[in-house]
Amino acid sequence: MGSAQCITIVLLLCIFTQSRAHGRNLGPELVGRSPGASDTEKVPKRPETKFLLLPDGRSQGCEIGPHLPNSLQECGFNASQPLVLIIHGWSMDGALEGWVHQLVAALGTRPVNVGLADWLALAHQHYSVAVRNIRLVGQEVAMMLRWLEESMHFSPSDVHLIGYSLGAHVSGFAGSFMDRRHKIGRITGLDAAGPLFEGTPQSERLSPDDATFVDAIHTFTQAHMGLSVGIQQPIAHYDFYPNGGSFQPGCHFLELYKHLAQYGLNAIPRTIKCAHERAVHLFIDSLLHEDAQSTGYQCSGMDSFSQGLCLDCRKGRCNTLGYHVRQQPWAKSKSLFLVTRAQAPFRVYHYQFKIQFLNQIESPVEPTFTLALLGTKETEQRVPLTLGDRIVANKTYSVLVPLELDVGELVLVKLKWEHGTGWAGVWSSVQAIMPWGRDPRSAHLGLKLGALQAKAGETQQRMTFCSGNKKDLLYPAQEKVFLRCEVNSKALKPRSR
C-alpha cells in the first residue's frame, strides 16, 4: 500500500469513524421498525427541514410546506408534472455544495418540478449526530409528500428522491414512512454513505423496498482497505459500480500532496470528494448527454468484468446508468459494472475480445500487445492489451477492451506485439533481430494465432476476425492484421472490404 493511501485512510478514519467513540448503537430512533401514525403526529408543525422549490433553476429557491398554506401556488408548483426532490448529505461547513446547483440546472431542462430538502441545520453536526438525525429528516420528507397528496392530489408515485451520501439513507427513511398505498415512485442513491451503515439490516438504511424502484451508484467504497466512504453492499434493485466502485479515473490520491500545499487541511475533503462525488456527476452526465448514455452489465465483480465476461443484456442483465435507467424492479438486487472516462461525457464502448494462441514461445518474456480497432466511421483507436500471464498454447484469453471513441461497426483489427520494457523487453528485441545463433524468424520466437472473436456490449453484436494467411507468425515489434470473417460450418474466410 502506498504512503498516500495510508495517509488518506488515517484521515478518513478521523473524519468518518470518529463516531465509534460514541458507540455503535445508533439509538432507538434508528432501530428498524415500520413507523406508525403516532410517529408523524410527534413532528412539529414547522419542520426542521426546509423544502425549496426551484423553478427555472432559481438559486435561492422558494420555500413550500404546510406551514405556508399558499406556497405551492406562489412558488409555481405544477401538479401535472413529476417532482424530483434532491436531498444533500452530511455537511462539513454548513453550506450547500456546488454540485447541488449543477444538478438543479441539469434537471431544469426536463418537464419536472425540481425541489431541494435543505436539512443543513441537522447535517452540519458531528457525523454520528447527523446519522441520528436522518430518521427525523426522512419523516419530514414523508410528511411533505403526504401534504402534497392531500392538498393537490399529487401522487407519491410521481416523486423521485435523489439522495447523495447520507441523503441517500434519508431517502430510504422517507420511503419507510410511506405505506404501500402511498409508495414513492423512485429513489436514487448517489454513493450512499458507508460508515455506520455497511452491513446493517435493510430497515436501517436505503433498501429496495423503500420505493417502487430504487437505483444506486457506488463510486468510493474502498471496501478492500477495510473502510468505505460510500457503502459497498447492494442497496437497490439496480446497483451500479463504475470502475469497480472503489477509485474513479482522474481521482488520484497522489493529488493529496499537491492539495495539502495549496489548500492546507481543506485538501483532505477535496481529495476524498473527487471519487465520492463522482456518482453525482455521472448522474448529471446522463441528463446532459442523452446521446452518450453509459451502460452497466451484471457481473460478480470487477475481476470478471475486466475479462469481458459479463457483456450480456439478456433478462435484465444490463441497464442504463443515471436518469434514464430502465425502471424494472427485481426480487433480488442486480450489481452492474462498467468502465468510464475521467471526465464528461463519461461513456465508453465496451468490447470483449477472445484471443487464442496456438503455440507458446521459449521466452521468459510476458508479451505485451497493442490492439488497433478500425470501424465503419473510419476512425482507428489503439488501446494497450494486457493478458495478465505468459502465453500458453491452445489457450483462449478473454479481455475487456473499452473504447472512448465510437468507431462504428468494427471491420478490421490489428494486433501488435510490443517490445515491452526493461531487460525482458531488450531480450525479446535482441532475440527477434540478432543475425547469429537462431533464425530471427524462428518459430520459437513467433506466435501463431487463431481467429479473434469479439462482442460489442452496447450493440450485443458478435464478430469474428481472421488473418488472410494463417501460417504467418507474429513476431516482436510486428503487427498482424485481422479482417471480419464470413463464418460458416467449414471455414472462416476474410470478408471483402
On whether 291 is known to bind a ligand per the annotation, the reply is no
Q: Are strands 50-53 and 62-64 parallel, antiparallel or unpaired?
A: antiparallel
Tell me how far apart the alpha carbons of residues 367 and 387 are, in angstroms, rounded to a whole number.
Answer: 8
Cβ-based neighbour number of residue 254 at 10 Å: 11
CA neighbor of 148 nearest in space, from 247, 98, 80: 80
Contact indicator for 64, 72 with CB cutoff of 8 Å:
yes
CA neighbor of 49 nearest in space, from 135, 108, 107, 128: 135
Q: Length of the chain in residues, anyone?
A: 497
Helix extents (H) in 75-227: 98-107, 120-123, 127-152, 166-176
252 is catalytic: no
Tell me how far apart the alpha carbons of residues 13 and 130 are, in angstroms, rounded to a whole number.
Answer: 17
Catalytic residue among 19, 160, 171, 191: 191
Is 137 exposed, middle or buried (CB count within 10 Å of its CB: 0-12, 13-18, 19+)?
buried
How is residue 443 annotated by DSSP?
Answer: T
Catalytic residue among 19, 91, 165, 306: 165
Tell me how far apart the alpha carbons of residues 132 and 130 are, in angstroms, rounded to a whole number.
Answer: 5
Helix axes 3-16, 255-263, angle to 10 degrees: 60
Q: What share of the chain is helix, strand, coil (3-state, %, to 5)?
A: 30, 25, 45
CA atoms 115, 121, 126, 131: torsion sign: negative
276 is catalytic: yes
Tell me how far apart the alpha carbons of residues 415 and 238 are, in angstroms, rounded to a whole number.
Answer: 36
Tell me how far apart the alpha carbons of residues 463 and 408 are, in angstroms, rounded to a whole number.
Answer: 13
Is 41 exposed, middle or buried (CB count within 10 Å of its CB: 0-12, 13-18, 19+)?
exposed
On whether 118 is known to bind a ligand per the annotation, the reply is no
Peptide bond before 345: cis, by omega within 30 degrees of 0?
yes
Catalytic residue among 88, 169, 276, 350: 276
Give phi and psi for 235, each to the nearest 5. Answer: -135, 10
165 is catalytic: yes
Tell me how far apart the alpha carbons of residues 55 and 70 are, in angstroms, rounded to a whole number.
Answer: 16
Alpha-carbon distance values, 462 to 155, 239, 299, 312, 432 (Å):
44, 26, 19, 11, 35
Q: Which amino acids are annotated catalytic?
A: 165, 191, 276
Annotated binding site for Ca(2+): 205, 210
